[in-house]
Amino acid sequence: MRTNRKTIATGAGAAGLLGLGLYLAVPAFAADPSPSAPAPAASAHPGHPGKGHGHPFRRARASHGIHGEATVQRKDGFHIAAWQRGKITAVSSTGLTVRSADGVSWTWTAGDDVRVRKDGEKSALKNLADGDQVLVVGERSGDTRTARLIRVPKRR
Protein backbone atom coordinates (compact mmCIF):
# COMPACT_ATOMS: atom_id res chain seq x y z
CA MET A 1 0.00 0.00 0.00
CA ARG A 2 1.32 3.35 -1.01
CA THR A 3 0.94 6.43 1.22
CA ASN A 4 0.24 9.63 -0.61
CA ARG A 5 -0.30 13.25 0.42
CA LYS A 6 -4.07 12.88 0.40
CA THR A 7 -3.96 10.00 2.94
CA ILE A 8 -1.55 11.88 5.21
CA ALA A 9 -3.69 15.03 5.08
CA THR A 10 -6.84 13.03 5.88
CA GLY A 11 -5.13 11.35 8.87
CA ALA A 12 -3.80 14.66 10.17
CA GLY A 13 -7.24 16.24 9.80
CA ALA A 14 -8.89 13.37 11.69
CA ALA A 15 -6.34 13.65 14.50
CA GLY A 16 -6.93 17.40 14.66
CA LEU A 17 -10.71 16.91 14.90
CA LEU A 18 -10.24 14.29 17.63
CA GLY A 19 -8.00 16.69 19.57
CA LEU A 20 -10.50 19.53 19.15
CA GLY A 21 -13.33 17.26 20.33
CA LEU A 22 -11.38 16.30 23.45
CA TYR A 23 -10.45 19.94 24.05
CA LEU A 24 -14.14 20.89 24.05
CA ALA A 25 -15.49 17.80 25.84
CA VAL A 26 -13.12 17.59 28.83
CA PRO A 27 -14.22 20.92 30.43
CA ALA A 28 -17.86 19.84 30.08
CA PHE A 29 -17.16 16.70 32.11
CA ALA A 30 -15.08 18.71 34.61
CA ALA A 31 -18.13 20.91 35.30
CA ASP A 32 -20.04 17.81 36.50
CA PRO A 33 -21.09 18.47 40.12
CA SER A 34 -20.54 14.86 41.21
CA PRO A 35 -18.06 14.45 44.11
CA SER A 36 -14.47 14.03 43.08
CA ALA A 37 -11.03 14.90 44.35
CA PRO A 38 -10.66 18.70 44.57
CA ALA A 39 -8.15 20.38 42.32
CA PRO A 40 -5.40 22.36 44.02
CA ALA A 41 -6.39 25.97 44.62
CA ALA A 42 -4.62 28.71 42.76
CA SER A 43 -2.43 30.91 44.86
CA ALA A 44 -4.26 33.94 46.21
CA HIS A 45 -0.97 35.81 46.32
CA PRO A 46 1.17 35.65 43.17
CA GLY A 47 4.80 35.30 44.14
CA HIS A 48 3.86 33.48 47.36
CA PRO A 49 3.08 29.95 46.18
CA GLY A 50 2.43 28.66 49.70
CA LYS A 51 -0.38 31.09 50.44
CA GLY A 52 -3.88 30.29 49.31
CA HIS A 53 -3.33 26.53 49.31
CA GLY A 54 -4.58 23.95 51.75
CA HIS A 55 -7.35 24.20 54.27
CA PRO A 56 -10.44 26.29 53.38
CA PHE A 57 -9.84 28.51 56.41
CA ARG A 58 -6.37 29.41 55.18
CA ARG A 59 -7.72 30.12 51.70
CA ALA A 60 -10.46 32.34 53.16
CA ARG A 61 -7.98 34.24 55.28
CA ALA A 62 -5.58 34.62 52.35
CA SER A 63 -8.32 35.95 50.08
CA HIS A 64 -9.82 38.18 52.80
CA GLY A 65 -13.21 36.48 52.55
CA ILE A 66 -16.01 38.11 54.57
CA HIS A 67 -17.92 34.90 55.30
CA GLY A 68 -18.46 31.57 53.65
CA GLU A 69 -18.75 27.83 53.81
CA ALA A 70 -17.00 24.95 52.10
CA THR A 71 -17.77 21.24 52.11
CA VAL A 72 -14.66 19.30 53.07
CA GLN A 73 -14.05 15.57 53.21
CA ARG A 74 -12.38 13.95 56.19
CA LYS A 75 -11.80 10.34 57.18
CA ASP A 76 -15.17 10.28 58.97
CA GLY A 77 -17.16 11.82 56.09
CA PHE A 78 -18.16 15.23 54.77
CA HIS A 79 -18.22 18.36 56.95
CA ILE A 80 -19.20 21.95 56.29
CA ALA A 81 -16.38 24.31 57.22
CA ALA A 82 -17.53 27.90 57.91
CA TRP A 83 -15.78 31.21 58.51
CA GLN A 84 -16.83 34.78 59.16
CA ARG A 85 -15.15 38.17 59.59
CA GLY A 86 -16.99 40.96 61.33
CA LYS A 87 -17.82 42.72 64.58
CA ILE A 88 -19.15 41.03 67.67
CA THR A 89 -22.71 42.19 68.38
CA ALA A 90 -23.35 39.86 71.34
CA VAL A 91 -21.20 37.62 73.51
CA SER A 92 -22.14 35.15 76.24
CA SER A 93 -20.53 32.30 78.14
CA THR A 94 -21.68 29.84 75.44
CA GLY A 95 -21.05 31.76 72.22
CA LEU A 96 -21.19 34.96 70.25
CA THR A 97 -23.00 36.69 67.40
CA VAL A 98 -20.96 38.30 64.63
CA ARG A 99 -22.18 40.74 61.97
CA SER A 100 -20.16 41.00 58.75
CA ALA A 101 -19.63 44.16 56.71
CA ASP A 102 -22.30 43.02 54.21
CA GLY A 103 -24.93 42.72 56.97
CA VAL A 104 -24.87 38.93 57.46
CA SER A 105 -25.26 38.01 61.12
CA TRP A 106 -24.39 34.52 62.37
CA THR A 107 -24.55 33.11 65.88
CA TRP A 108 -21.68 30.81 66.85
CA THR A 109 -21.66 28.37 69.77
CA ALA A 110 -18.36 27.94 71.57
CA GLY A 111 -17.46 24.77 73.42
CA ASP A 112 -14.65 24.15 75.89
CA ASP A 113 -12.26 23.30 73.05
CA VAL A 114 -12.57 26.67 71.25
CA ARG A 115 -9.27 28.51 70.81
CA VAL A 116 -9.44 32.25 71.38
CA ARG A 117 -6.60 34.56 70.33
CA LYS A 118 -6.71 38.26 71.14
CA ASP A 119 -3.95 40.67 70.15
CA GLY A 120 -1.67 37.74 69.31
CA GLU A 121 -2.03 36.10 72.73
CA LYS A 122 -4.07 33.19 74.08
CA SER A 123 -7.31 34.45 75.56
CA ALA A 124 -10.77 33.30 76.61
CA LEU A 125 -14.32 33.88 75.41
CA LYS A 126 -15.03 36.02 78.49
CA ASN A 127 -12.34 38.51 77.33
CA LEU A 128 -14.19 39.32 74.10
CA ALA A 129 -16.44 42.38 73.95
CA ASP A 130 -19.14 43.84 71.73
CA GLY A 131 -17.55 45.73 68.87
CA ASP A 132 -14.39 43.60 68.70
CA GLN A 133 -13.41 42.84 65.12
CA VAL A 134 -13.00 39.06 64.78
CA LEU A 135 -12.36 36.17 62.46
CA VAL A 136 -14.34 33.09 63.50
CA VAL A 137 -13.73 29.68 61.94
CA GLY A 138 -15.53 26.45 62.69
CA GLU A 139 -18.14 24.06 61.36
CA ARG A 140 -21.83 24.13 60.56
CA SER A 141 -24.12 21.20 61.26
CA GLY A 142 -27.74 21.91 60.37
CA ASP A 143 -28.45 25.42 61.66
CA THR A 144 -25.74 25.33 64.33
CA ARG A 145 -22.35 26.93 63.74
CA THR A 146 -19.69 25.80 66.21
CA ALA A 147 -16.59 27.98 66.57
CA ARG A 148 -13.22 26.23 66.69
CA LEU A 149 -11.09 29.40 66.54
CA ILE A 150 -11.94 33.01 67.35
CA ARG A 151 -9.24 35.51 66.50
CA VAL A 152 -9.15 39.20 67.36
CA PRO A 153 -6.33 40.74 65.30
CA LYS A 154 -3.55 42.79 66.88
CA ARG A 155 -4.34 46.46 67.16
CA ARG A 156 -2.07 48.70 65.15
Splitting the chain (156 residues) into consecutive groups of 10 residues, what average pLDDT does each group show? 64 53 47 46 44 53 77 92 95 95 96 90 93 94 95 81
pLDDT reported for residue 119: 87
Using CA atoms, how far apart are residues 39 and 75, in angstroms rounded to an integer?
A: 18
pLDDT reported for residue 67: 92
pLDDT reported for residue 14: 55
Using CA atoms, how far apart are residues 7 and 93, in angstroms rounded to an integer?
A: 80
pLDDT reported for residue 11: 59
3-state secondary structure of 147: strand
For the chain, strand residue ranges (E) read 67-74, 77-91, 95-99, 105-118, 121-123, 133-141, 144-152
